[in-house]
Amino acid sequence: MCGIVGYIGEKNCVNILVEGLKRLEYRGYDSSGIAVIYRNSLKIFKKAGKIIQMESSLPDNLNSKIGIAHTRWATHGEANDINAHPHLSQNNKFSIVHNGIIENYSVLKKKLEAEGYKFKTQTDSEVIAYLIEKNYKDDFEEAFYKALEKLEGAYGIVALCEDNPDFLMVARKGSPLILGVGNDEMFVASDVSAFLGHTKQVVYLDDYEITKIEKNNFKIKDFRLSDIARDVKLLDLDTSASDKGDYSHFMLKEIFEQPESIKRAFAGRLIENFGTAKLGGLNLTPQDLFQIERVGIYACGTSYHAGLVGSYILEELARISAYVEISSEARYKNPLIEKGTIFFAISQSGETADTLFAMREAQRKGAKVLGICNVVVSTIARESNGGVYVHSGPEIAVASTKAFTSQITVLFLYALLMGRMRDVSLQTGKKLINELKMLPEKIQTILNSVDKIDEIAVKYSKLNNYLFLGRGISYPVALEGALKLKEISYRHSEGIAAGEIKHGPIALVDEETPVIFIVPQDNTYDKTISNIEEVKARKGKIISVCFENDQKVKALSDDYIEIPETNSFLSPLLTVIPLQLFAYYTARALGCDIDKPRNLAKSVTVE
């Protein structure tokens, strides 16, 4: 969500900090700011709105070798200049940036106010700066430790002291922070993309760790102040992936990257002669796999929808009981961990707070949890008992597209692996692998006909309400299509199990409400046709996503989008592509900020 950047070194940090913030824009934000020590004095510049507005307020001669910066996604207090980070202590000697939520801030604030401190903002973060000031006795490091002792909640914090321009203090508890190690310079950020242009040497901080950063050194301690040794790792990332190229938006680029990202998800993981898959990262022996009787899946948002698709495939193909829980609900339950149950934690970033805490709770109860992540060495990837990287490549647009299809691909591979160990025949396994390998080319066929999807989207873009309907494995696709549309076009949309339309939602159908049906020719096809007829009888506008040869659905539809035929297990990987494009072209027709939609964040690292 919020973005943090910090620097100490021999260069002027102002441009480095601003550049780092711009690289973090994709995470979502509503204000930004920087704090630097300039001519022995702490200076802060912050503004609500886009980073360029804050950047334009910076003096031309501003020069500093140490500073911190932040993009804020409002949780406590409205988005304005005052509530923007960095925050100052009352004596103006300390400045902090903070990601996360301080759960006991109101109690701390009341105590500090009783001692004479006067707060300027509505945020929970400001108490951190005031606590450091209160505990300061000519030792910034010690004051920082003591301030942390009082904090409850989740946080990533970087603090700067006017009297100590030779180091920064950093703490992580539930919100990611990464160090970048350069030559006579150090960086800290909530995402490596913030400093990728400067160094690829990184140090990943874990929860409950405190770090003192100097220009050519770092020291990590745990919350008991015991020293921790940590190796510097070399990051292997292609910075060109952060370039839009010839595409008008990152989202469109990422939609078009799906033929290749799906290939990467299954590359090297197919054993074609045996009709099965290999997933070495699961860290499970064949005996472990045989003993699995039930699969639980934790995820949020788009990853939750991918998990739902996976649950259908697991039950039908592998004949394993599977269930999916929204992480924000699961983390507060007291889960029953039955013998023979394994869990998947699905998260594009690998830092989704709710999924991380749900995973930890299951592990406390003795469960094994496997991560399905896109970001290498993310927290979920590091703390899980094993897992699979989806290898989508960097996803910059807030609305996830290619990660969704890659997650489904990985879940399909797992289901195929388990199915072949049970009652899937060799012949069936080979056919499924062949179908999977043909998917990238079939997706490209859909991408070659975007003009028609654009035309349909523009036609309906002035309407305010949309319904997305699907049955069986297409129901999660309906949920995802509705989510994409509401995320980037701000239009009200609902994903509904088509069989449920008679149980209430049909009351919403009228001539001004397009109903988008996902209709692959699977075992629920005839029932979905009946639902189309019901909507048509009530003068609803019908848009269908159907197979190329489906004349029946085409005849019933006001508009339709064709997709190539495929196996029903793999149909979501095709049916979702037109829905992603429909959302994109609708948002473009409405002039929305597609890559950075209002109020949303790419990586949700708070509750």
In DSSP notation, 208-248 reads TEEEEEETTEEEEEETT--EE----EE----GGGG--TT-S
Q: Active site residue: 22, 484, 486, 602, which one?
A: 602
Residues 6+ apart with CB under 8 A from 147: 128, 131, 132, 134, 135
Residues 6+ apart with CB under 8 A from 26: 250, 396, 397, 398, 595, 596, 602
Given a contact cutoff of 8 angstroms between Cβ atoms, the answer to whether 73 and 106 are in contact is no
Which residue(s) pair with 347 in the sheet? 373
Given a contact cutoff of 8 angstroms between Cβ atoms, the answer to whether 74 and 81 are in contact is no
Of the candidates 557, 550, 549, which has an alpha carbon nearest to the alpha carbon of residue 531? 557
Q: Active site residue: 2, 13, 300, 373, which one?
A: 2
H or E segment to which residue 546 belongs: strand 541-547
- Establish whether 546 is a catalytic residue: no
Given a contact cutoff of 8 angstroms between Cβ atoms, the answer to whether 126 and 120 are in contact is yes
Burial 386-421 (b: 16+ CB within 10 A, else e): bbbbbbbbbbbbbbbbbbbbbbbbbbbbbbbbbbbe
Helix/strand/coil (H/E/C) assignment for every residue in 492-514: EEEEEEHHHHHHCHHHHCCCCCE
| CA distance to 47, 153, 301, 452, per residue, from 191 (Å) | 22, 21, 21, 38
d(CA 171, CA 321): 41
* 138 CB neighbour count, 10 Å cutoff: 8
- In the chain the first and final C-alpha atoms are separated, in Å, by 11
Extract long-range pairs of 126-132: CB within 8 Å, 24+ residues apart: 126/87, 127/102, 128/87, 128/96, 128/98, 128/102, 128/155, 128/157, 128/159, 129/87, 129/88, 129/89, 129/94, 129/95, 129/96, 129/159, 130/89, 130/90, 132/89, 132/94, 132/96, 132/159, 132/161
Helix/strand/coil (H/E/C) assignment for every residue in 62-102: CCCCEEEEEEECCCCCCCCCCCCCCEECCCCCEEEEEEEEE
Peptide bond before residue 86 is cis, with ω within 30 degrees of 0: yes
Given a contact cutoff of 8 angstroms between Cβ atoms, the answer to whether 33 and 54 are in contact is yes
What does the CA dihedral 326, 329, 335, 338 come to, rounded to 10 degrees?
A: -20
Rounded to 5 degrees, what angle do the CA atoms 547, 439, 349 make? 115
Burial 102-123 (b: 16+ CB within 10 A, else e): beebeebbeebeeeebeeebeb
**Active-site annotation, residues:** 2, 602
